[in-house]
Amino acid sequence: MRFFLTVLLWISLLTGCTPAPAPMHLHQIYQRDSIRVGILNGPTSYFVGPDGATGYEYELAQALADKLGVKLELVPAFFIDELLVKLSNGDIDLIASGSTISEALQQKYRLAPAYQLADEVLVFGQQKRRPKSLQDLSGPIVVLKGSSQAETLLALKTTEPQLQIELNDTDDPTELLQKVAEGKIAYTLADSHMLAINQRFYPNLGVALTLKRQQPVAWLLPKNSDDSLYAVLIEFFGRSYEGADLLTLEDKYFGHVRRFNYADTLDYIEAIDKTLPRYKNLFEQHAGALDWRLLAALAYQESRWDPKARSPQGVVGMMMLTVDTANLMKVSSRVDAAQSIRGGSRYLQRMLDRLPERIPMPDKLWFALAAYNLGLSHVESARLLTEKDGANADNWAEVKQRLPLLRQRKYYRQTRTGYARGDMAVYYVENIRRYYDTLLWVDERKQAELKQKAASSAATPAGSQTPAAVKKAAPKASTSKKSEPKQP
């Protein structure tokens, strides 16, 4: 009721001295006990993962429903046009697209407060020559029909008549980025946050030009005189900024992908194919309660999966253990891959166990990784600085802003442990998170391929031959000594 009264106050502020119209939209939401959110299916908005529904826009929409005390009713779609029709017909209350909003849509619909800003960037495959200007392009730019990117390019066409534009009405933005990575199309125009997500999987995607900067990412509402839901969103996003909820959510989905290194990601994906198979069983065997893929990502950050790795500081092996840590974890040989992985896994679990139980996951895991790198006492010092600032010391997004302060005397003199390279610990954790995400994606794709292959084999009747096998068994029509091409 307090929240509802605050909404009415916002309506009165928005409408000045004029009596506020009846809050019909908000009233309808309470009457049906649900808010209907149109949402695009995609990696930055909403998708169903192994543990259920997830995505930045999905979590924001759920938080809004929780704030209102109603159920969240998702209406997913693959194209924005489908959702616009539903919004115009009153079948949904708002659209959470997770993408920049074109000027045309801003004229036709009401824009909720922007909660992100994204650049519109021209994306090319780094295996090809980078164009230095729009005049330097060697092919068309493929974009989604009706998108903000399409509007940007069509407007540019008036001053850049040579510009080739191909409007696509079948693929989603992720598929267009994948086609650029695979060389199937030369260019696309994408939102910068969408590109950041996909560069973990397709490291050869690069930015050639930035065509528009700081474009709003916001939800869409019907354009009418009913301010009731709009007032709710003003307060919702305002409180989310003040309470650092948006900061936490942005860190969860985008905080670790902003820093992208083309060569490093390319090397990592190659190492997953060539090096990881030799040690995968060891990671699975010694992961304990941890995900083996997280343990593998930690090991790659530490040693690039080199069991004989050494640093100038005297840390050694796959998990780069110090002598003291090795002794504590009962590791007799730090260059033995099995012992090192077992010791590193136990040490990370020890960090987790020593952190307060009240810290939620995955924040607790990020703190444990920072402690693995920097030491738990320094992490606690950063948490103390966070608490002194009146922020949430159990929130990784808040604490990671204070960790770099441990390099500055005016801050580290307030702690018991003194100076520490806290900024390096932040990079360390973000790198592991990127490696982990990439390995999850690669591993899940391989598992899907194996299931598909098993299903195909099961569908083939016993004793029969697949077309490929028949072709391979057929008599050769030639006596040439050239070898037959290998079957896929």
CB-CB contact of 63 with 237 (8 Å): no
Selection from 81, 85, 74, 75 nearest residue 102 by Cα:
81
Query: Vertex 324, ends 321 and 328: CA angle to 5°?
Result: 90
Q: Are 176 and 143 in contact (CB under 8 A)?
A: yes
- Report d(CA 306, CA 57) in Å as an integer: 39
Whole-angstrom Cα distance, residue 177 to residue 186? 10
- Residue written as tokens 């096998």? 469
Cβ within 8 Å of residue 428, ≥6 positions away: 301, 369, 370, 373, 374
> Is 484 noted as a catalytic residue in this protein?
no
Distance separating alpha carbons of residues 322 and 329, to the nearest angstrom = 10
- Determine the Cα–Cα distance for residues 199 and 209; give it in Å rounded to an integer: 16
Residue spans of alpha helices (H) in 362-482: 363-374, 376-388, 396-402, 409-412, 422-459, 467-473
Q: Catalytic one among 120, 302, 380, 398?
A: 302
Backbone angles phi, psi at 40, to 5 degrees: -85, 140
Tokens (6 digits) for 366? 């990020």
Q: How far apart are the first and last CA of the chain?
A: 64
Give start and end residues of each alpha helix (H) in 129-227.
Answer: 148-156, 173-181, 192-199
Count CA within 13 A, CB hemisphere, residue 26.
25
> Of 223, 34, 216, whose CA–CA distance to 115 is shortest?
216
CA dist 428 and 323 (Å) reads 21
Cβ-contact 151, 103 below 8 angstroms: yes
In angstroms, the Cα distances linking 247 to 116, 120, 396, 407, 469 are 10, 22, 10, 23, 56
Helix (H, G, I), strand (E, B) or coil at 322: coil
The H-or-E segment that residue 86 falls in is: helix 80-88
Q: If we measure between CA atoms, which residue out of 318, 345, 315 comes closest to residue 330?
A: 345
Question: Hey, which residues are catalytic here?
Answer: 302
